[in-house]
Structure 1
Amino acid sequence: MSEPSLKSVQCSSPAGLHRVAYKEWGDPLNPKVLVCVHGVTRVGDDFDHLARALCGEYRVVCPDVVGRGRSERLRDPAHYVIPQYVSDMVTLIARVTAPGEAREVHWFGTSMGGLIGMVLASLEGTPISRMVLNDIGPVLDQAALQRIGEYIGQDIRFPSFEAGAEYVKAVSMSFGPHTEEEWFKLSSDVLRRQDDGQWVRHYDLGLAQPFKAITPERAAGDEAALWAAWDAIRCPTLLVRGEHSDLLSRETAAEMTRRGPKPRLVEIQGVGHAPTFIQANQIAIAREFLIG
């Protein structure tokens, strides 16, 4: 099956129930499942190229993390945090892995999706048996997090799709060189037209609230917890870094190769944060590690 099905699963937060939407590619009976999870302001559509390339070997599941894209918004924005996302992914994996069947779950996580994968893979009894982390690690810079919070919390509206696409391209140049067709796809996935004709970004502006609440003490505690999670991971792991990444430093990546799952490290030239894995040479890196 070369085209995806659109599905959803009901999840819960302390504030109530919410629906998480996901795309499912490939044979729904395939016992090998690949879960692909996007970055903080992106969507599951980011993985269309990767999923199409791998859905012959996997059942590929690409969720919109709650608060983004086709998924519902949380009633309390304070719950837009990694533990909530991990809980939602546990529910999603339970939905897509039938009871009583031996299923193999692999994970591909970009940025925030990688953090979710790190925490989930560190838990006793984790379903994840192989993982790709795309340009993310346990070290989180507080200034960078606050900057992200300010950026994603801005209520920016565009008079046309073209204006919105120019904005998306301008703030996403660290993704590296892409064709105009690829930039169109990257933009159209995250822009939505409102009833008044204006175009907006696809997510709940409340995503910014937890970022703005970060203190130096909280940042230090979160970093320590992420290193502890990293050290608990045992599954084979591939760590991908963009050559010019400002979120995953060379020093952090090198330290990650010495600890925890001791991953193989691949650096993609000419790219910052984060490689998009929509181009053939990047897809080949994922395929070689996941499938061989």
Structure 2
Amino acid sequence: MARQAAIPYLLGADFHRLGFVEFGNPAAPAVMCVHGLTRNGRDFDILAEALANDYHVICPDLPGRGRSDWLADSSLYQPPSYVVALAHLLAYLNKPVAWVGTSLGGICGMMVAAAPHTPITRLVLNDIGPLIPAAALARIRDYMTKAPDTFADIGALEAHLRLVHAPFGRLSDAQWRHLARYSARPVASGGFALHYDPAIADPIRASIPMDADLSGIWQAIRVPVMAIRGEDSDLLTEATFATMATAGGTTLTVTQAGHAPALMDTPTIDAIRDFLARGA
């Protein structure tokens, strides 16, 4: 069962609140699961529940998402700020962690794993790698900036998620309802909005999409890596995925999925569990 908690973190000259949920025994080995750009920590509920017998699973909401505070300065909605917040959470946990990161969560994981004396012991990268094509970044920018401000009800919000996140893979109706439930926040005027600060799109909207080369960070990582790719992904290309395999990473391709696999299906969960167990 998920337990809600929060910690303060200092970013710039102000303290903010970072919300998270946790599963399992806090004395067990830790697994931190970090979500993608417009998502939140509850995306990992199914994976976390599957791991909870053996691990302490922590799933934060990145700044501006879910139960975490919004930032007054939207220019701070970028990976270095997220790493600051997550570093506070790592300090709060004060123990080694395995890291599961989807997309943006994987970028943050790479940044932390590349640092000297990192607490990360194993790194699962879900549909993210050392090179991100400009076209994929442009697609993400477009769906963020075109999202409706409000939805009349949860059903309308769920329909939107099914459309823009169809690449998550073949989810059940119950799984889509779960995502919709935790993706919605009530608005005073009636209806619901997506559960993130619309200003998280500001840095993306202000930039010109170009290939993002993270190879310097990638080459500094010394912990075991598992790379997961949706077979139709436009963000983690086959060529980049092959490079990650050549570097010694464990790899998994999720069929009938694009960017990014939802990590809700049994075969993928079993593969992640097997990879994590190698470090036990």
Band the TM-score falls in, shorter-chain normalisation? over 0.9
Mapped to 1, the partners of 2:238 and 2:262 lie a distance apart of 19
Mapped to 1, the partners of 2:231 and 2:137 lie a distance apart of 20
Deviations 1:106-163 (A, max 9, x none): 0000111001001110011111011110010121223432332333234521111111
Q: Which moved more, 1:189-198 or 1:58-67?
A: 189-198
Mapped to 1, the partners of 2:70 and 2:262 lie a distance apart of 25
Q: Indicate the SS of the match to 1:12.
A: strand
| 1:195 aligned partner | 188
Mapped to 2, the partners of 1:150 and 1:275 lie a distance apart of 20
Is residue 2:273 matched to residue 1:287? yes
| 1:257 aligned partner | 245
Mapped to 2, the partners of 1:67 and 1:250 lie a distance apart of 32
Is residue 2:43 matched to residue 1:37? no
Q: Indicate the SS of the match to 1:200.
A: strand
| 1:269 aligned partner | 255
One-letter amino acid of the counterpart of residue 253, structure 2: E
Deviations 1:20-44 (A, max 9, x none): 10001111222x1100000001110
One-letter amino acid of the counterpart of residue 13, structure 1: L
Q: Which moved more, 1:67-76 or 1:274-283?
A: 274-283
Is residue 2:160 matched to residue 1:167? yes
| 1:176 aligned partner | 169
Residue 88 of structure 1 deviates from its aligned partner by 1.1
How is 1:220-231 mapped onto 2 (pairs within 5 angstroms)?
A: 222-223=212-213, 226-231=214-219
Cα contact 2:141–2:205 (8 A) shared by 1: yes
| 1:6 aligned partner | 4
Q: Indicate the SS of the match to 2:132.
A: coil
TM-score (norm: length of structure 2):
0.94
Cα contact 2:143–2:164 (8 A) shared by 1: no
Q: Indicate the SS of the match to 1:158.
A: coil
Q: Indicate the SS of the match to 1:50.
A: helix
Q: Which moved more, 1:280-289 or 1:191-200?
A: 191-200
| Percent of residue pairs identical | 38
| 2:230 aligned partner | 242
Any stretches of 5+ residues in structure 2 without a counterpart? none
Q: Indicate the SS of the match to 1:169.
A: helix
Mapped to 2, the partners of 1:266 and 1:164 lie a distance apart of 31
Any stretches of 5+ residues in structure 1 without a counterpart? 98-102
- The count of aligned residue pairs is 277
| 2:264 aligned partner | 278
Mapped to 1, the partners of 2:163 and 2:21 lie a distance apart of 27
One-letter amino acid of the counterpart of residue 288, structure 1: D
One-letter amino acid of the counterpart of residue 172, structure 1: H
| 1:208 aligned partner | 201
Mapped to 2, the partners of 1:275 and 1:145 lie a distance apart of 17
